[in-house]
Chain A
């Protein structure tokens, strides 16, 4: 930069040099400051980190930090002074000389000559001097100071400053809390009291612990406490103590791990030496505390005792699940019983069932939640009937499930724990049945192959006898494999509930047949002496017999297979109808309470119906071609347009059109009934065609049973009419005579009624409660009959009442004594029921005694009728015996199922009993026996139908789970004994209270 032309050159030079000097100084000062800041920053960071690692050393670190800080500042000041000293004229010239030596020389010369020039008597030429100065000035004008003292010299320090700042920024961003804590700790670290006293500052420490509200635990007072505290987080500790020395102030210092010491001032009240200290704090973390005080003379002292604060953890709940065996195979329609117990040290809030199918999302379902406003229980035991049908398990797979318990901790947050995980293997009953059918198909194929082998064995004329024999042996081996396959099929069928009892019997029969013929074949083969054509004749004959057998076996297997396919279709139709009923129930429920959950369930049920229908239509399609069309009726079923009807129902429900939904459901019902009829008809038609002899025999036997039942019912009615008539006569006759006795019976009945009212139904099973209610209803009816003085009716009611009470008594007794039940009726309830039964028996006996015997009241015609009835009864019995014989042989053998014999026997026995009672003119007893006989015949018919249907029920199988009762959670006797012994020992002085509390907690 050129000097302005108006300034003398020397001034210009001076100014330039000053400027350069100032610049240099500034840069140096900035450099030194930067270095100091960097050192301070890094040093402080280091100190803070050291403090975080060693929390107990804050005080020392604070001292160190102070020392360090002072040192750095001191050093910086020294550097500043040096810089100030160093940045003078000479140093500037030196700097200039390093870059411009010639100029510097000239400059020096000029400056030196200037001094002389100012004296007025220079020894040199002034113009030359002027020229020199002008030249220097001009040349300096071309050298900017920033070129000689560039700011880039600050670059390293700027970088280090930036790095330091960056480091601080990173820490502040990534670990703000620890950093803040460290800064706070450093800031607040106080040096300890300068003196540690030997004697305590406080005495008679009294603590009051107020526990968090959620624990619902009573507050506790500890007198003469040592000061050690064990309490859960959130406990408010109020302490009081007596000052043992004159104190000016008192502070409670709490030191927790990884936390700075907290100082809580305590209030001192009272005067002179009777000062009392009070204060409170809330327990949150474990640590130590001590008292620090200032004496009246100003000395800061510290109590020698360091007292601990331990945290009483709030344990997570304990949840135990009881379920069926792990990895049990169940169907999606099963209902699983799951029992559970949960306990928590302070209280349970919620229990949930969690489950997951395969790798899917975890679903949760609330089982129980504590009632608001009530103290949350510490223990909960219950049982869940988990209907798997509510979950979409159509894909099958492994379902894992467990229970989760949530406690009531509102201080540090509720703790959740879970039980062990159990598993269920979901399979569809159809899958199992498919496997059974596949086995059956394989057996059929194997049997056909064997049949083919046997057919051709002696067909090939040119085959050498020895080769023929070899082939026969090979066929025998094949036959043994077929027999094994038949056994396997039989076993599978036993497990497969979709196979009917009739089908199982048929397969068992086939297996038995194969068994027998395989053995015979073995004998024949074994007996063959040689292998010429003559010696093979027995083999030829046996082979022919085997062919006949296998022809029969193959046809039966094929027909059974087709029958099962049709049966499966029918079952699918029945399942559809069951699903429709379930849907109806859900919709009725929804009408009462429109919850979103219910709505979801309904939609899930509709989707299920659609899936079931689709599966049925697919089964129909698969059957076309293999079974005659008239047995499938696929077109007729398709014409019902069921999928469209379901879609319509779904749409109506989503729209909220409940009227439309009702109508659509009714239409769906009609269509399903129609389809069910078609499928039933298909099956029956098929059976008539393929199993003509069996069906005829079955049909004939069923007709006979039906006929027997009708006849029996007729006989029963006639006997009943006779009873009614003579009862009425008795009532009329005795109406006025027995009035007082009937009034007395009413009183007795009243007593009985009160006894029943005192039976607590809470512990009874649901069905027992129903029974009890029914019995109470009968009591009312009996009372009415007694009031109306209808002796016959009263006696009948009394008999029913007595019978009902007897049954209830037996059931309740069984349950009361069954230790395996998780909830048993009380013995008191049982006693009362027993009492009521005895009372009912007495009433019955008294009423019977009042009623004259039939012998007195029967007219001659009625006696004659009874005798006639007896003869008819005996004839009926003979027909029954013939039927029994028929069911034991021929095509009808086994057609009615395995329990047919029992029912036949029961019917026969009752008929016999009825005949005897009719002979003895005891129509009441005869009537009861006749009714039983009729029931037995009805049961026989039902069984016959059931044996032809799949053995599974629509509601699925329950797996009963044993759940332990509360008794199981009591401490064993031995342990209790130990405790009691221990409790007899005296506690150390001053520890009575804590020891008592300890034992109480132990046994809680």
Chain B
């Protein structure tokens, strides 16, 4: 009798137990996803789906997997099916997020990279121009990081290029306010890379390096199963962001603004504690703080890497994957405790001889419409400088360029040789009167401080081209390309300056597409 009772009891609780079991397994799958172990998660899910395909938790897990693979539409459908049954806030949030993403990218153009490792998406229109260059950057970054860190994602990585910052806010936990305040322009999340088109910013931004930066995040997350603290994550991403284009063995560059901020912070003892960088750099109070934080973590990672460059970093990341805390991992590779590390790093910074750059103005990442020339003139603080600039501008518009140059010079002398706006105008005028060397001379001081200005880099590239120095022309025009690829002059200039015929054809085609006429 008892046996019957027990059997009956077992029979009655087995389904429940079985359901509970599925839920646990589904959670495990999701945990794998949270650990950035997409392949493992998929494998577990397949097994689970064989046994309980209709289970809402299984569906949710599948939806997440699809979402991570970039199949937002199917993910959204699945989530809509289960939203009623599972009404927990997380599922609802996930459903909203996935649905929003699906709506956003509906109709996007997509293209696979040459190596097949990336699937790139962009809205039809001007942003399509970015896809081949993005693909190139990412394949290069992949190769380098595979060599450096020994890891590359096994799945196709989906890369989405959005038109506006508000689009990024729609598909991420960030708010538009966060984005504008901190200048966050890209994210690596849900196994995907998401960036905002450089078209959204008046001056563009280093979007190719940013792609590589986000890819590095992906690699680190996958490698360490997301056990890397934020400061280290960002530090490594920053450290490797220029890797795709740098010479082998070259140290990662530190931008003048970064050097300046570091120098100032060191002098004022106002470095940002690593703890404050958690949970995200995007949550820092302003762009200046974010820039400083990035500079700090980059140099910290550089310090960790030391002369041996990437091997220590690989070991560091592996240690984290094995479960070590960050400071344990640091101790393993450097022998330094947390406190010792931080002190040593500061010493390292000081030894670098960083000095503030006098007159450097930190350039915020501004969103919105490009300022008109009138607005830019009105923004010149000194009245005399404004007057001379206006005069120069009026003369130049009437093709009295030689005279305009003289007025530009007057403005330039008063404003300082690092003034990008005036320097660029002067350089352009010099180019118009056929004096590219003078144009170069006017701009070199500017890019010493502000290499991230696409306009200046373009003018410099063109000046070098006119001066017959194709190598430097290509160098500067490619910098411009990395920041703002929508200027026809960049492509037209590269078409004229490049020596490889494939490149020439490519840039010429883009030059024509953008309406430029400067190609030979």
A interface with B by C-beta (< 8 Å): 445, 448-449, 451-453, 455-456, 459, 551, 554-555, 558, 625, 627-630, 689, 692
CB distance from B304 to the nearest CB of A (A): 49
Which residues of B lie under 8 Å from residue A630 when comparing CB positions? 375
B375 touches A456 (CB 8 A): no
B395 and A451 within 8 A (CB): yes
Q: Is A448's CB under 8 angstroms from B374's CB?
A: no
A555 contact set on B, CB distance < 8 A: 387, 390-391
Determine the chain B residues whose CB is within 8 A of the CB of A629 once the complex forms: 372, 374-375
Q: Closest CB-CB distance, A517 to chain B, in whole Å?
A: 17
* Contact A448 B406, CB 8 Å, known A628-B375, A629-B374, A689-B378: no
Residues of A near B378 (CB, < 8 A) are 628, 689
Knowing A627-B374, A629-B375, A689-B378, the reply to whether A451 touches B391 (Cβ < 8 A) is yes
Minimum C-beta distance from B405 to chain A (A):
9
The distance from the CB of A604 to the nearest CB of chain B, in whole angstroms, is 39
Taking the complex as formed, is B169 at the interface, i.e. its CB lies under 8 A from any CB of chain A?
Answer: no
Judging by beta carbons under 8 Å apart, are A551 and B391 in contact?
yes
- 6 closest Cβ pairs, A-B complex: A452-B403, A628-B374, A452-B400, A455-B403, A455-B406, A628-B375
Q: Find chain A residues with CB under 8 A from B383 CB.
A: 692
Q: Give every chain B residue within 8 A of A628 (Cβ-Cβ).
A: 372, 374-375, 377-378
Chain B residues near A692 (CB-CB < 8 A): 383
> 8 Å CB contacts to A: which residues of B369-404?
372, 374-375, 377-378, 383, 387-388, 390-391, 394-395, 398, 400, 402-404
The contact string, 1 if C-beta is below 8 Å from chain A, for chain B 395-421, is 100101011101100000000000000
Alpha-carbon separation in the docked complex, A156 to B391 (Å) = 103
Cβ contacts under 8 Å, A625 to chain B: 372
Report Cα–Cα, A555/B394, bound state, in Å.
Answer: 9
Question: Quick one: which of A451, A456, A558 contacts B390, CB cutoff 8 A?
Answer: A558
Question: Which residues on the B side are within 8 Å of A455 (C-beta)?
Answer: 403, 406-407
With A628-B372, A628-B374, A628-B375 known as contacts, the answer to whether A456 contacts B395 (CB < 8 A) is no
Give Cα distance in the complex from A569 to B377, angstroms: 23
Contacts of A459 in B (CB 8 A): 402, 406
Chain B binding surface SS class: helix
Residues on the B chain within 8 Å of A445, using CB: 398
When distances are taken between beta carbons in the complex, the residues of chain A under 8 Å from B398 are: 445, 448-449
Chain B residues near A448 (CB, 8 Å)?
394-395, 398, 400
Residue of B nearest to A552 (CB): B387
Binding site for A on B (CB under 8 A): 372, 374-375, 377-378, 383, 387-388, 390-391, 394-395, 398, 400, 402-404, 406-407
Contact B395 A452 (CB under 8 A): yes
A551 to B390, CA, bound (A): 10
Interface pair B391/A554, CB less than 8 Å apart: yes
Which residue of B is nearest A627, CB measured? B374
Residues of A within 8 A of B387 (CB): 551, 555
Q: In the complex where A445-B398, A555-B387, A555-B390 touch, is A451 in contact with B403 (Cβ < 8 A)?
A: yes
In the assembled complex, how far is the CB of residue B135 from the closest CB belonging to chain A, in whole angstroms?
A: 38
Q: Which of the listed residues A455, A551, A555 has the most CB atoms from chain B within 10 Å of its own CB?
A: A455
Considering the chains assembled together, what is the distance between the CA atoms of A611 and B369 in angstroms? 32
By a CB distance below 8 angstroms, the chain B residues around A554 are 391, 394
Q: Contacts A452-B402, A629-B374 given; 14 further ones with Cβ under 8 A?
A: A445-B398, A448-B398, A449-B398, A449-B400, A451-B391, A451-B395, A451-B403, A456-B403, A459-B402, A555-B390, A625-B372, A628-B374, A629-B372, A689-B378
A residues near B390, Cβ cutoff 8 Å: 555, 558
Question: Which residue on chain A has the smallest CB distance to residue B376?
Answer: A628
**A628's closest neighbor in chain B, by CB?**
B374
Give Cα A459 to B407, complex, Å: 12
- Chain B residues, Cβ within 8 Å of A689: 378
Q: A456 is contacted by which of B372, B377, B406 (Cβ under 8 Å)?
A: B406
**What is the CA–CA distance of A627 and B372 in the complex, to the nearest angstrom?**
10
Task: Name the B residues within 8 Å of A551 (CB-CB).
Answer: 387-388, 391, 407
Known A-B contacts A628-B375, A629-B372; A558 and B394 likewise in contact (beta carbons under 8 Å) = yes
27 pairs from A and B in contact (CB 8 Å cutoff): A448-B395, A449-B400, A451-B391, A451-B395, A452-B403, A452-B404, A455-B403, A455-B407, A456-B402, A456-B403, A459-B402, A459-B406, A551-B391, A551-B407, A554-B391, A554-B394, A555-B390, A558-B394, A625-B372, A627-B374, A628-B372, A628-B374, A628-B378, A629-B374, A630-B375, A689-B378, A692-B383
Q: What residues of chain A lie closer than 8 Å to B395, measured between beta carbons? A: 448, 451-452
Q: How far apart are B262's CB and chain A's nearest CB, in angstroms?
A: 37
**Bound Cα distance from A554 to B407, whole angstroms:** 13
Q: Output the nearest chain A residue to B391 by Cβ-Cβ distance.
A: A551
B280 → chain A, closest Cβ, in Å? 35
In the assembled complex, which residues on chain A have CB atoms less than 8 Å from the CB atom of B372?
A: 625, 628-629
Residue of B whose beta carbon sits closest to that of A689: B378
A797 to B247, CA, bound (A): 100
